[in-house]
Structure 1
Amino acid sequence: MLITKQAVFKRFWYPIVPMEMLKEGPQPFTLMGESIVLWADNEGAPRAAIDRCCHRMAKLSIGWVDTDGCITCPYHGWRFDGSGQCRSVPQIGDKVPNHQLKIKAYLCEEKYGYAWVCLSDDPISGIPEFEEAGDPDFRQVFEFYETWDCASMRLMENSFDAAHIAFVHKDSFGDINKPVPELGKLYKTENGSFYMLNKNRVDNTKVDRSVTGEDDDVTYRTTRTDYYPPVIRKSKIHYPGGLIHSIVTCATPIADGTMQLCQWVYRNDTEEDVPAEKVVAFDRIVTIEDRHILESCDPDVPIDQSRRAELHMASDRPGMLIRNILMELLKENGEQEVYGDHFIQYETPENIEYRKNEVDPVKMPEETGKPASSPVDKSV
């Protein structure tokens, strides 16, 4: 799937830029292939619009923000408010500009320290709510804001992939001598998505133990990972000693093969317990390892499993479920998957029965029910 070619994904909210950056002036960004500009108005509220002046198509992002909160085009000084309306044209003096002088503005809100944007006036859902936000027992640590050369969907699937830990993270908390993953259990959520519960054995010898709060060489952590379609997940990690390390990862799509990583973490400790610098360094190891692999993967993620463009194993159940959710989303909105023509279709006899299993959606109970059953792995 080429995400920028699917119109429905323009109807979701994405974190674009930290609010702190808007204090420096207008900021350019490419969201789903569209060039936009963000700025803070005179009240400090984030605003977003197309990054082109309607006069001679100059980039507004190289302009400036006036004291009344309007963004000014650096070419001829035309000024636009947060709704996109042109408020003044210096060349006509004090006359009110024609109401038709307007640029496309986008929905823009501040939340969790970021400016969020939706490219559509009709969002499918709101910005996700995270229970830790505003909870006095938790602090928020900003971790990463950086561009990766990989598809947003690759990072999302990787977040639920238990099998990669032993290999990709062998130098941090994984154990390459124990390649058989401990599979999580899947549960349906009210919004039509899912979360995964699992308990994993992790190597505690290669990391800063003050960050995990555990002294033993080997520890176990219980994790609930929620998926917020299309490109957000929250992984809430509980350590035996009571520490909670809850990571929010957003893979904002820039282009089909490029994304902006926006990541922060909530922790139920204090800066005095563990400095933010150590927390960031702890998670930095993991992101470096993941990035190395993910940037090598084909960005065209096949979500229609009947195409047989990729083969799967039992630990891929969450990724298959993500693909099913997105495929249903396309169908509900009258779209078909748009993809490249470079895939091989696997139809060897020994895989035919397995193919049938792949096509069937993973069946899950309601949130209060039993763990999900999967046609791929009947044991969970």
Structure 2
Amino acid sequence: MLVTQQKVLRRFWYPVIPSDRLAGGPHPFTLLGTNLVLFRDAAGKAAALIDRCCHRTARLSKGWLDAGNVVCPYHGWTYAGDGKCVRIPQRPGGDPGKNIGVKAFRCTERYGVVWVALEEPLRDIPALPEYDDPAYRRVFEFYEPWQAPGLRIMENSFDNAHFAFVHKESFGIVDEPEPVQPRLEADPAGFTMYADVPVKNPVLQQANLGIASDRTVRHYEKTWWMPFSRKMKVTYPNGLVHIIMTLTAPIDDRRSQVIQFLLRSDSEADAPAENLIKFDRQVTHEDMAILEACDHDVPLSPTGELHMPTDRPGLEMRRMLARLLAEHGESEVRRDGSVPPMLASAAE
């Protein structure tokens, strides 16, 4: 599926930048192949406009802010957060006249993140009640582009079969490759997956978790929100809760911008944030090394790739996305209609 070619995917909220990075804008961002400029308007609210001046198409993100308005670096045309042109310096008094402006997009903030929807969203931003719960502390982990599509990232997040191989240096038990079968609970916006998974518990994690054993069990409650975001709630045998939020925004067909932060039911004195980030970054780098080498054009059809029983969560994602397209009168768009060479060989 080529995400930039599926119109309905424009009808979701996407996490584009941490709120604290919006200071000192304007900032460029590409969402589903659409170039945006992000900034805080005169009221201090996050704003998203098309990153093109309507005069000679210069990039507004290369300009600067003036009292919460973005100034084009080419001729100084100035735009407010709603996209209206408020000043044309070449005109008497800078009066722009009427009906001059650029396209503005829906933009809001939640969970310390700026979210943008390119068209009328089908659903609200997912609920995360733990974010404002004083029982949890917040730890920001990273904000970076991955050379992988959101669907690959999401499928990997719900795949119990890769632990023993991809994560053999962090938490996977290489001598026990048979994966735990997951249990899925349906939801209109996605699903929740449950699984109890034995894992390796290296020295750094023993300190992070307060569990003095080289093995432990993760009680997983993972929620996927269509199309490309997830919440991973891990409860350990000692009652510690470790919630990872992985929020992705599709830059284009190949790349995703990933924001990750966690919520923990302990304190900085129990486990320093630096050590939590160190371990989680090891895990995500292991994933990234594999995912960035996979094909970006993920087929929604179940016959596009081969599967095994623990692929069920990923197959459910593909099924739900295919149904979403069908409900909005769309068909899956791919690079071509040919059978991948690996499947052609297997069928011979």
Measured against the shorter chain, the TM-score band is over 0.9
Residue 4 of structure 1 aligns to a residue whose secondary structure is helix
User: For residues 83-232 of structure 1, what are the structure 2 equivalents within 5 Å?
Assistant: 83-94=82-93, 96-120=95-119, 122-189=120-187, 191-205=188-202, 207-232=204-229
Is 1:15–1:114's contact at 8 Å kept on the other side of the alignment? yes
Q: CA deviation at 1:350?
A: 8.5
- Identity rate, percent: 45
Cα distance per residue 1:298-336 (max 9 Å; x no partner) = 00000022xx22010001000000000000000000000
Is 2:5–2:333's contact at 8 Å kept on the other side of the alignment? yes
Is 1:260 matched up with 2:272?
Answer: no
Is 1:343 matched up with 2:342?
Answer: no
Is 2:144–2:258's contact at 8 Å kept on the other side of the alignment? yes
Residue 275 of structure 2 aligns to a residue whose secondary structure is helix
User: For residues 322-337 of structure 1, what are the structure 2 equivalents within 5 Å?
Assistant: 322-337=317-332
Is 1:75 matched up with 2:74?
Answer: yes
CA 1:150/1:206 → structure 2, altered by over 3 Å: closer, same or farther? farther
Question: In the alignment, which residue of structure 2 is the partner of 1:57?
Answer: 57
Question: In the alignment, which residue of structure 1 is the partner of 2:37?
Answer: 37
Is 1:85–1:99's contact at 8 Å kept on the other side of the alignment? no
Q: CA deviation at 1:42?
A: 2.9
Moved more, 201-210 or 254-263: 201-210
Q: CA deviation at 1:144?
A: 1.1
Query: Matched residues in 1 for 2:71 and 2:347: separation?
Result: 64
Query: Matched residues in 2 for 1:104 and 1:310: separation?
Result: 40
Q: CA deviation at 1:278?
A: 1.3
Is 2:146–2:256's contact at 8 Å kept on the other side of the alignment? yes
Q: Which amino acid aligns with 1:321?
A: E
Is 1:139–1:269's contact at 8 Å kept on the other side of the alignment? yes
* Paired residue total: 346
Q: CA deviation at 1:93?
A: 2.8
Query: Matched residues in 2 for 1:340 and 1:23: separation?
Result: 39
Q: CA deviation at 1:192?
A: 4.5
Q: For the aligned residues, what is the CA RMSD?
A: 1.7
Query: Matched residues in 2 for 1:71 and 1:309: separation?
Result: 46
Query: Matched residues in 1 for 2:104 and 2:213: separation?
Result: 54
Q: Which amino acid aligns with 1:343?
A: V
Question: In the alignment, which residue of structure 1 is the partner of 2:274?
Answer: 277
Is 1:29–1:35's contact at 8 Å kept on the other side of the alignment? yes
Residue 207 of structure 2 aligns to a residue whose secondary structure is helix
Structure 1's unaligned 5+ residue stretches are: 352-380
Is 2:76–2:88's contact at 8 Å kept on the other side of the alignment? yes
Cα distance per residue 1:108-142 (max 9 Å; x no partner) = 0011111110011x110111111211101011111
CA 1:94/1:350 → structure 2, altered by over 3 Å: closer, same or farther? closer
Cα distance per residue 1:6-40 (max 9 Å; x no partner) = 01001101111111211121110110011101001
Query: Matched residues in 2 for 1:349 and 1:310: separation?
Result: 11
Cα distance per residue 1:237-281 (max 9 Å; x no partner) = 001111111011112100111111111111111222222111111
Question: In the alignment, which residue of structure 2 is the partner of 1:27?
Answer: 27
Residue 16 of structure 2 aligns to a residue whose secondary structure is strand
Structure 2's unaligned 5+ residue stretches are: none
Q: Which amino acid aligns with 1:257?
A: R
Residue 274 of structure 1 aligns to a residue whose secondary structure is coil
Moved more, 131-140 or 267-276: 267-276
Query: Matched residues in 2 for 1:62 and 1:347: separation?
Result: 48
Is 1:173–1:207's contact at 8 Å kept on the other side of the alignment? no
Query: Matched residues in 2 for 1:76 and 1:347: separation?
Result: 56
